Amino acid sequence: MGSPRALRSSPRFMSMTKDARRQRSPPPEEPKERISWDDYFLKAATLASIRSPCDRLKVGCVIVKNNRLISMGYNGFLAGTDHRSIVRWGHEQATIHAEINAITDAAKRGVSIDDSVAYITHYPCINCFKALASSGVKKIYYQVDYKNDPILEDLGYGISLIKL
């Protein structure tokens, strides 16, 4: 690096005023409050939704157990197939929903989602709700209302469905 004398005679040091040389760096900022686990995992679901090739609606789902993300999915086409939109009865037929992708990803890897929690960007359809319930998901958090069906509340299956 050089001697202290050489540093004091450097052009940078010499161009600074005496007051500037005395100034110290500002104190570190106060630590910001950490986001909650619910917000954290909902943001992860939102991030997953960005991968969706669907032009109509991008949905993401993460499945969590003991505050650890164990599976993730987004709505999209089957891997290795043509991305071809087929809409029937106002609903896309060629894509797999984010929730199903998350469930099947865990199943393919041999990961149990029993007693887990799902975080979904949008209110789940009845089929995804039933699939999550039969897979052992105990609580579902979602962010955006989307074709909410009151039958999910009637079915219940002992699952909490909570809008964040």
Q: E strand or H helix at 85, and its extent? A: none
Each domain of the chain, given as residue ranges in start order, spans 35-163
Q: Is 99 a catalytic residue?
A: yes
pLDDT score of 73: 98
- In terms of DSSP bridges, do strands 68-74 and 60-65 run parallel, antiparallel, or are they unpaired? antiparallel
d(CA 10, CA 132): 67
> What is the predicted pLDDT for the residue at 22?
65
Dmax over CA atoms of the chain, in Å, equals 81
Q: What is the mean pLDDT of each run of 10 residues along the chain (164 residues)?
A: 60 61 70 91 98 91 98 92 82 89 97 98 94 96 89 80 92
Res 1: pLDDT: 54
Which among 29, 30, 92, 99 is annotated as catalytic? 99
CATH fold of 35-163 reads Cytidine Deaminase; domain 2 (3.40.140)
Residue 128 confidence (pLDDT): 94
CA distance 112 to 164: 25
d(C-alpha 105, C-alpha 151), whole Å:
27
The CA angle 116-122-126, to the nearest 5 degrees, is 70
* Beta-carbon-side half-sphere exposure of residue 22 (alpha carbons within 13 Å): 3
